[in-house]
């Protein structure tokens, strides 16, 4: 059984004291200021002079900012989170240049959560107690699950989400082993009516977390809309809306973790479609349901869990017409409207739309494993079955 060392993040709730909350809030503000100033400098250099500014140059700018009397407060917080924010900005620009992401955006105090990252030189880990730089007391962490035995964090990220909850994420090195070998191969068809349909015939019900809390969310949003802009009551109402969103996101994430863990444990090979979720949410009739299903999040979980536990994840071509191909004879139908949930092929086979698609996805994945990605055997099989 193969063992490998991976980096894992363990996230916990914690409850800061008043002094710790003040220090962290000040650090968040300084991190946001440094990030935005560096982004402004890099943007001006690029659009004004067609010149790229490197991380080293922004680090030199930070040194100059600290010497400015109006920005002297930057020297009162730990320098490590400030340097880490410049590294994050460099990573954002690298992703933009490589066309993996959009142009970096300025950070806002109101939009999204706030965070600060500490490396080993900026925190003390002793006897399972974590003390950050500029603090005299360890954080009051709720250890909902233990860290791997003997593990010590290499990076600590402290964050406060828009619902006002404080979290600390510890990045550690952990040893994982391949899961027990199994002969299972499963095809997965993601859907809305059912969250996923499996090639085994099983259909996992879509919990529809957002729909279950829709009334509560609508009430909180109406109350927020009635509050005067800039008032304390509006700030409180905004937090209540954020708490409803956080509850939905937490329940969705928990359900996906349980589902993906079960699939990885029971199957040696998992086959999924390469869905273009960003394009699909352009359909305004289905955008809300697609976002609630969180297909991208499920695929991400399957990806790293398969890598950790020695499973194979096969992603087939997004243009493969899995729903329109008969899994029994390979015949390809010209059309398959979304309202058709069951259909009968000319060969006499009766199909459930989603299970049939999962069977075709499984067959296509096995063909990819046998022939290689470049062959696109799934598409070839569909065309052959239609007599073309």
Residues belonging to the active site? 189, 273, 354
> Which has the closest alpha carbon to 295: 312, 307, 278?
278
Report the Cα–Cα distance between both ends of the chain, in Å, rounded. 46
Q: Strand pairing partners for 344?
A: 350
Rg (CA), the chain: 25
Contacts of 90 (CB under 8 A, 6+ apart): 54, 55, 58
DSSP state of 179: P
Provide the pairing of β-strand 312-316 with 342-344. unpaired
- Containing 130, the helix (H) or strand (E) segment is strand 129-132
Interatomic CA distance for residues 115 and 157, integer angstroms: 7
Q: What are the contacts of 79-84 at 24+ separation with CB within 8 A? A: 80/117, 80/118, 80/119, 80/121, 80/122, 80/133, 81/27, 81/30, 81/31, 81/116, 81/117, 81/118, 81/122, 82/30, 82/31, 82/34, 83/59, 84/31, 84/116, 84/117, 84/118, 84/119
Q: 């010149």: which residue's tokens? A: 51
Interatomic CA distance for residues 134 and 122, integer angstroms: 9
């Amino acid at each position: 059984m193969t063992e490998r060392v991976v980096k894992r993040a363990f996230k916990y709730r914690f409850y800061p004291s008043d002094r710790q909350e003040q220090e962290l809030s000040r650090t968040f503000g300084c991190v946001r200021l440094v990030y935005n100033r560096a982004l402004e400098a890099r943007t001006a250099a690029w659009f004004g002079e067609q010149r790229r500014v490197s991380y080293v140059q922004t680090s030199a700018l930070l040194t100059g900012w600290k010497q400015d009397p109006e920005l002297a407060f930057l020297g009162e917080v730990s320098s490590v989170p400030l340097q880490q924010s410049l590294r994050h900005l460099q990573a954002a620009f690298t992703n933009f240049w490589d066309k993996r992401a959009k142009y970096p955006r300025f950070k806002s105090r109101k939009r999204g959560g706030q965070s600060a990252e500490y490396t080993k030189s900026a925190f003390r880990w002793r006897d399972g107690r974590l003390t950050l730089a500029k603090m005299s007391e360890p954080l009051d962490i709720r250890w909902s699950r233990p860290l791997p035995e003997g593990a010590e964090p290499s990076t600590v990220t402290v964050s406060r989400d828009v619902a006002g909850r404080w979290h600390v994420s510890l990045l550690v090195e952990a040893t994982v082993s391949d899961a027990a070998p199994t002969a299972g191969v499963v095809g997965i068809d993601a859907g809305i009516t059912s969250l996923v349909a499996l090639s085994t015939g099983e259909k996992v019900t879509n919990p529809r977390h957002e729909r279950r809390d829709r009334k509560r969310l609508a009430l909180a949003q109406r109350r927020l809309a009635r509050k005067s802009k800039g008032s304390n009551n509006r700030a409180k109402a905004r937090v209540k809306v954020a708490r409803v969103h956080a509850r939905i996101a937490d329940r969705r994430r928990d359900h996906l973790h349980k589902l993906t863990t079960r699939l990885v444990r029971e199957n040696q090979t998992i086959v999924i479609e390469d869905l273009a979720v960003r394009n699909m949410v352009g359909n305004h009739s289905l955008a809300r349901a697609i976002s609630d299903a969180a297909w991208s999040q499920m695929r991400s979980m399957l990806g790293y869990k398969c890598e950790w536990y020695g499973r194979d994840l096969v992603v087939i071509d997004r243009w493969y017409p899995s729903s329109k191909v008969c899994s029994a004879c390979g015949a390809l139908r010209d059309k398959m409207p979304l309202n058709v949930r069951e259909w009968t092929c000319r060969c006499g086979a009766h199909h459930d739309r989603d299970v049939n698609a999962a069977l075709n996805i499984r067959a296509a994945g096995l063909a990819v494993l046998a022939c290689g990605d470049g062959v696109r055997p799934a598409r070839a099989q569909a065309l052959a079955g239609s007599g073309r």
